[in-house]
């Protein structure tokens, strides 16, 4: 039953994208209705799968080609705990962003293209997280990022085009590095199935060739995830895109095509090694610290939020890296589990609050047509809903209880202390404080100072679809704090942590050995 549900996550948004291109020209308003409906359905479906999943993995062989002598032939789609968490946030943020777009995108022409590209991007991301085959993963990744290149340039003004060109050049280099790494892996193992590769790597001795491939993969997917030495494209691209798309890019895309793949490959495919995990921890720490230091001087709201995305992703990578290092050393499995759970928890939280912050920025831009903090002020009077939700998101991102960001950061810091990385724990606290300062600046200049913009008409609150999306996300910021309770955390995040901790179990469900 669950197995045959898996391809729906890829087929449905793909069909919707082309249906919009065909029927959208003839039926007015078709695209506005169908996209949120389809994404709502996917959200419900993924929640259903998440709640009914008792740490099982489901696999699906495309074309019905079953493995012969334990050698997988078909392309496998795999749905386990870790995938399900990603599926839930992709569909959820996708639904809210598309609902928000109903009023936001009305000022642009060619709405059909916008919704079709959004559906394609979701197809790509769902495919990446479901795929159990390296090359298939690459193809879905390209579908997602090519759609995002077009969406970044959607405004077709100077800045958007320049950002999109920069993004495409760096994204293109990343793609070739990834393809090169996949070719090297194929050369060594003569297979592309992730589970099969992991079995072959276990039985053969690790050499420098493997380390080279791992470094290539870290740089390739690090470019896609905008870790610090590779971050140059992110602030431009994420701040130039239309706001719902910024929410999708920052909230979901860099996780699905960057962080998810790194975590999946280094936990489930390669054998954990100390050097690589120290490299991952270093990249995470650098992203965390430098990202926030670059953010604090920004006056463009969306650029500020984009730099914070780098910094918050640093938390996730750092925490997961600590888990990987402890696994490589083979000590303290409970602390490793806690660190991984903290990283995944923060990833989910970041999707919600960063999505909400970008939607807030979009609402402000929708009304007063500026992104510069110095030209705003006093908006809490005119736009109470935007102000309130943005306050919730700001408190959440800077780690103030009882919002979700506090609990995930707390878990990460506890895990770092228990693993005796006191410096990293201190840095995490320090970055959190700077984040708080930066968001106090955002709140003060945008909502509480005196008016700096000059306009004749009165500023109104944004239309209902935008308020609805922002309110739901604000509520989710509170609801996700429930994951801090160990029982609920084990129920939701437990299966994901299990999958990552036991590489053997992952291979067993796919190729049955």
Partner 1 sequence: MKGMSIIVKKVTQLLSGIIFLYGIYIITHGHLTPGGGFAGGAIIAGAYILLILAFGSDTIKLKNIEKGSSLTESLAIFIVLLLAVLAFFLGSKIFFANYLPKGQLGEIISAGVIPLYNIFIGIEVAAAIITIFLALIIFKEEITK
Partner 2 sequence: MIVYILCFILFLVGLYGLITRRNLIKIVISLSIMEFSVFLFLVIIGYIDSGIAPIVDLKETNQIYVDPLPQAMVLTAIVIGLATTAMLLAIAIRLYRKYKTFDIREINNLRG
How many residues lie near partner 2 (CB under 8 A)? 36
DSSP string, 447-475: IIS------SSPPPPPPHHHHHHHHHHHH
Name 76's bridge partners.
61
Q: Is the Cβ–Cβ distance between 118 and 35 less than 8 Å?
A: yes
DSSP string, 149-217: HHHHGGG-SHHHHHHHHHHHHHHHHHHHHHHHHHHHHHHHHS--BHHHHHHHHHHSPP-HHHHHHHHHH
Binding partner 1 (rule: CB under 8 A), the pick from 54, 64, 158, 457 is 64
Helix (H, G, I), strand (E, B), or coil: what is residue 71? strand
Residue placing its CB nearer to partner 1 in the complex, 123 or 469: 123
Contact status: 441 vs partner 2 (CB under 8 A): no
CA distances in angstroms from 335 to 338, 413, 428, listed in the order given: 5, 11, 17
Name 60's bridge partners.
77
User: Which residues contact residue 367 at a Cβ distance below 8 angstroms, ignoring those fewer than 6 apart?
Assistant: 382, 383, 459, 460, 462
Binding partner 1 (rule: CB under 8 A), the pick from 62, 179, 271, 501 is 62
Neighbour-count burial of 187, counting CB atoms closer than 10 A to its CB (0-12 exposed, 13-18 middle, 19+ buried): exposed
Contact status: 164 vs partner 2 (CB under 8 A): yes
Binding partner 2 (rule: CB under 8 A), the pick from 175, 390, 404, 435 is 175
Binding partner 2 (rule: CB under 8 A), the pick from 2, 40, 173, 211 is 173
Binding partner 2 (rule: CB under 8 A), the pick from 117, 163, 335, 497 is 163
Residues in the chain: 513
Contact status: 139 vs partner 2 (CB under 8 A): yes
Shortest CB 247 distance to partner 2, Å: 20
Residue placing its CB nearer to partner 2 in the complex, 138 or 407: 138
Tokens of 88: 């839930």
Contact status: 173 vs partner 1 (CB under 8 A): no
Q: Count CA within 13 A, CB hemisphere, residue 202.
A: 13
Contact status: 153 vs partner 2 (CB under 8 A): yes
Contact status: 165 vs partner 2 (CB under 8 A): yes
Site for partner 1 in 21-40 (CB under 8 A): 21-22, 25
Shortest CB 179 distance to partner 2, Å: 5
User: Which residues contact residue 240 at a Cβ distance below 8 angstroms, ignoring those fewer than 6 apart?
Assistant: 152, 153, 155, 159, 160, 162, 163, 164
- Contact partner, 19, from partner 2, partner 1, none, Cβ < 5-8 Å per class: partner 1
Binding partner 2 (rule: CB under 8 A), the pick from 41, 108, 186, 453 is 186
Binding segment (CB under 8 A) for partner 2, from list 232-240, 281-289, 380-388, 505-513: 232-240
User: Which residues contact residue 452 at a Cβ distance below 8 angstroms, ignoring those fewer than 6 apart?
Assistant: 374, 375, 376, 377
Residue placing its CB nearer to partner 2 in the complex, 221 or 406: 221
Contact status: 14 vs partner 1 (CB under 8 A): yes
Contact status: 150 vs partner 2 (CB under 8 A): yes
- Contact partner, 163, from partner 2, partner 1, none, Cβ < 5-8 Å per class: partner 2
Tokens of 303: 């650029």
Shortest CB 410 distance to partner 2, Å: 33
Helix-helix angle 134-152:158-189, to 10 degrees: 170
User: Which residues contact residue 176 at a Cβ distance below 8 angstroms, ignoring those fewer than 6 apart?
Assistant: none
Tokens of 153: 């340039």
* Distance between CA atoms of residues 480 and 483, nearest Å: 6
Q: Which helix (H) or strand (E) holds 481?
A: none
Residue placing its CB nearer to partner 2 in the complex, 308 or 350: 308
Shortest CB 148 distance to partner 2, Å: 11
Compute, in degrees rounded to 10, the torsion defined by CA atoms 256, 258, 261, 263: -110
Contact status: 298 vs partner 2 (CB under 8 A): yes
Shortest CB 175 distance to partner 2, Å: 8
Binding partner 2 (rule: CB under 8 A), the pick from 59, 103, 219, 240 is 240
Residue placing its CB nearer to partner 2 in the complex, 36 or 72: 72
Contact status: 63 vs partner 1 (CB under 8 A): yes
Query: Which spans of this chain sit near partner 1 (rule: CB under 8 A)?
Result: 4, 7, 11, 14-15, 18-19, 21-22, 25, 60-64
Query: Which spans of this chain sit near partner 2 (rule: CB under 8 A)?
Result: 135, 138-139, 142, 146, 149-150, 153, 156-159, 161-166, 168-169, 172-173, 175-176, 179-180, 183, 186-187, 192, 235-236, 240, 297-298, 303
């Amino acid at each position: 039953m669950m197995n045959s549900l898996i391809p729906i996550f890829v087929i449905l948004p793909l069909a919707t994208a082309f249906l919009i291109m065909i029927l959208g020209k003839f039926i007015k308003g078709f695209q506005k209705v169908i996209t949120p409906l389809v994404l709502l359905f996917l959200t419900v479906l993924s929640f259903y799968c998440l709640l009914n999943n008792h740490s099982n993995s489901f696999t699906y062989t495309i074309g019905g080609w079953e493995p012969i002598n334990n050698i997988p032939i078909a392309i496998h789609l795999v749905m386990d705990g870790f995938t399900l968490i990603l599926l839930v946030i992709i569909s959820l943020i996708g639904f809210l962003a598309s609902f928000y777009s109903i009023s936001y995108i009305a000022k642009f022409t060619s709405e059909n293209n916008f919704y079709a590209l959004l559906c394609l991007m979701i197809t790509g991301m769902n495919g990446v997280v479901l795929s159990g085959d390296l090359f298939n993963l690459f193809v879905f990744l390209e579908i997602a990022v090519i759609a995002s290149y077009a969406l970044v340039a959607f405004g077709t003004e100077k800045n958007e085009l320049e950002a999109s060109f920069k993004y495409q050049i760096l994204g293109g280099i990343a793609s070739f590095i990834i393809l090169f790494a996949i070719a090297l892996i194929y050369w060594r193992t003569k297979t592309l199935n992730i589970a099969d590769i992991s079995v072959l790597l276990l039985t053969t001795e690790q050499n420098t060739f493997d380390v080279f491939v791992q470094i290539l993969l870290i740089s390739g997917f690090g470019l896609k995830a905008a870790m610090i030495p590779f971050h140059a494209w992110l602030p431009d691209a994420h701040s130039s895109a239309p706001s719902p798309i910024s929410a999708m890019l920052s909230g979901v895309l860099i996780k699905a095509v960057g962080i998810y793949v790194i975590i999946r490959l280094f936990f489930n495919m390669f054998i954990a090694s100390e050097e690589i995990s120290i490299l991952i921890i270093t990249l995470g720490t650098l992203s965390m610290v430098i990202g926030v230091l670059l953010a604090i001087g920004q006056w463009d709201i969306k650029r500020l939020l984009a730099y914070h995305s780098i910094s918050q992703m640093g938390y996730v990578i750092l925490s997961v890296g600590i888990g990987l290092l402890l696994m490589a050393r083979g000590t303290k499995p409970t602390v490793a589990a806690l660190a991984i759970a903290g990283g995944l928890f923060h990833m989910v939280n970041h999707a919600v609050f960063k999505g909400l912050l970008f939607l807030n920025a979009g609402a402000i831009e929708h009304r007063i047509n500026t992104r510069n903090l110095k030209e705003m002020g006093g908006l809490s009077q005119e736009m109470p809903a935007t102000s309130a939700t943005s306050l919730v998101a700001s408190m959440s991102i800077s780690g103030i209880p009882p919002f979700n960001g506090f609990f995930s950061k707390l878990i990460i810091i506890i895990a770092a202390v228990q693993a005796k990385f006191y410096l990293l724990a201190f840095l995490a606290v320090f970055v959190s404080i700077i984040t708080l300062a930066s968001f106090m600046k955002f709140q003060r200049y945008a909502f509480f100072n005196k008016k700096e913009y000059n306009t004749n008409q009165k500023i109104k609150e944004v239309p209902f679809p935008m308020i609805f999306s922002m309110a739901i996300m604000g509520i989710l910021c509170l609801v996700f704090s429930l994951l801090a309770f160990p029982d609920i955390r084990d129920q939701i995040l437990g299966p994901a942590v299990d999958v990552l901790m036991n590489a053997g179990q992952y291979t067993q469900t796919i190729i049955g050995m």
